[in-house]
Copies of this chain bind each other. A is one copy, B any other.
Amino acid sequence: MRYRDAGVDVGRAETIKEEIGRAVRGTWGADVHPLPGGFAGVIGWPGGSGTSLLAATVDGVGTKLHLALEAGRVDDATADLVYHCANDLLCHGARPVAMLDYVAQSRLSPAVVQAVVRGLARACSEVGAALLGGETAEMPDTYLPEVVDVAGCMIGAVSADRLLGQGARPGDRLLGLASFGLHTNGFSLARRVRAASGLGLGDPLPGGAGESLGDALLAPHRSYGRTLLPQLERGRVHALAHITGGGIEGNLVRVLEDGARARIRGSSWSRPALFRWLITAGGIPEEDARQAFNLGVGMIVACAPEAVESLAADLNAAGERVWPIGEVVAGSRGVEWY
């Protein structure tokens, strides 16, 4: 996802993107599984049986950290980083094995670092990853005062016969799994809307059911592994798209087979109050909202039409809120709303 939203001259960015891609691919041996648009990188484990694959992904918490600092909930934001990474691995069928973190500030605040690690550790235990390493950096010439950046790398394992990728094919049905809120994307925009609104984190979310704006904005990133991994084991899932930056369109397109086109029925689920408020208060055009936010759908599952009912029922029973939100048809690669 390099260069997404980088706001650079598109022609030049494309050239550089190509050069970066070439440089990166130049380091790949035959053991790397190229997954175009992948949510993680996948490589054969050396000395493994040939069916044992390592998946790894790296991400930052992003600007959700600013709100978390303001609310004194840094641990929740770093837990979200773990959930985010675990969901990325899940899109390739991988289970979390280990996590490593990088924490940097202008001047290290012991209380902040402690909260960072507390949140990471809590979430790692939940998803089954060992927090295997970490680095703290103090760089007054790089970071603005009183803020923090946290990045994390998660490593997972998947057997070759369970590897998922661009497996959504014509005929597939799409199930949307409810998100808890923004998850970890769209915060630059959300923070601008909130700043312009003049609302405090303790104020009630306009149009909400009484929850505070802070609770709505900082709601955790839902981790889908607990409910989805058993379904992956049963081989019922063709593809998974984790809805992060780029929204439904930007992420669903990453798991479509060549010659497959996704159709999303926008009215098939109700947008949570937080998204309705952000769009209205911010005067955000529909197109931009779809790019920036998950709009209430945190994960999309593609499966065969004959599996969709029982899969939806099983996920429901396991605690997911599930909507049939569309289907995959033959056509030019892309995602259309109707």
Let me know if B12 and A110 touch, CB within 8 A. yes
Let me know if A3 and B135 touch, CB within 8 A. no
Bound CA–CA A24/B52 (angstroms): 27
Residues in B with CB closer than 8 Å to A8 are 108, 110
Residues in B with CB closer than 8 Å to A32 are 130, 132
Let me know if B43 and A45 touch, CB within 8 A. no
Bound CA–CA A98/B149 (angstroms): 23
The verdict on A19 contacting B147 (CB below 8 Å), with A48-B45, A54-B98 known, is: no
A177 within 8 A of B: no
Residues in B with CB closer than 8 Å to A157 are 45-47
Q: Which of B2, B104, B113, B149 contacts A134 (CB 8 A)?
A: B2
Residues in B with CB closer than 8 Å to A7 are 107-108, 138
The prevalent SS among residues of A at the interface is mixed
Q: Which residue of B is nearest A17, CB measured?
A: B110
Interface string of A73-104 (1 = CB under 8 A from B): 00000000000000000000001011111101
A31 within 8 A of B: yes
Let me know if B132 and A43 touch, CB within 8 A. yes
Let me know if B139 and A149 touch, CB within 8 A. yes
Q: Which residues of A23-65 are within 8 A (CB) of B?
A: 23-24, 26-29, 31-32, 40-43, 45-49, 52, 54, 56-60, 62-63, 65
Let me know if B97 and A43 touch, CB within 8 A. yes
Interface string of A108-133 (1 = CB under 8 A from B): 10110110011001101100011111
Let me know if A19 and B54 touch, CB within 8 A. no
Residues in B with CB closer than 8 Å to A149 are 104, 137, 139, 142-143, 149
Closest chain-B Cβ to A94's Cβ sits at a distance in Å of: 10
Let me know if B155 and A147 touch, CB within 8 A. no
Let me know if A56 and B6 touch, CB within 8 A. no
Closest chain-B Cβ to A186's Cβ sits at a distance in Å of: 14
Let me know if A125 and B26 touch, CB within 8 A. yes
Q: Which residues of A148-198 are within 8 A (CB) of B?
A: 148-149, 151, 153, 155, 157, 159
Residues in B with CB closer than 8 Å to A66 are 141-142
Let me know if A114 and B19 touch, CB within 8 A. yes
The verdict on A16 contacting B113 (CB below 8 Å), with A98-B56, A100-B57, A141-B147 known, is: yes
The verdict on A159 contacting B47 (CB below 8 Å), with A134-B24, A136-B6 known, is: yes
A13 within 8 A of B: yes
Bound CA–CA A138/B128 (angstroms): 30
Chain A interface (Cβ within 8 Å of chain B)? 1-3, 5-8, 12-13, 16, 19-20, 23-24, 26-29, 31-32, 40-43, 45-49, 52, 54, 56-60, 62-63, 65-66, 95, 97-102, 104, 107-108, 110-111, 113-114, 117-118, 121-122, 124-125, 129-139, 141-144, 147-149, 151, 153, 155, 157, 159
Closest 10 pairs (CB-CB, A-B): A41-B132, A153-B153, A23-B121, A102-B151, A58-B100, A41-B133, A27-B124, A27-B131, A6-B108, A16-B110
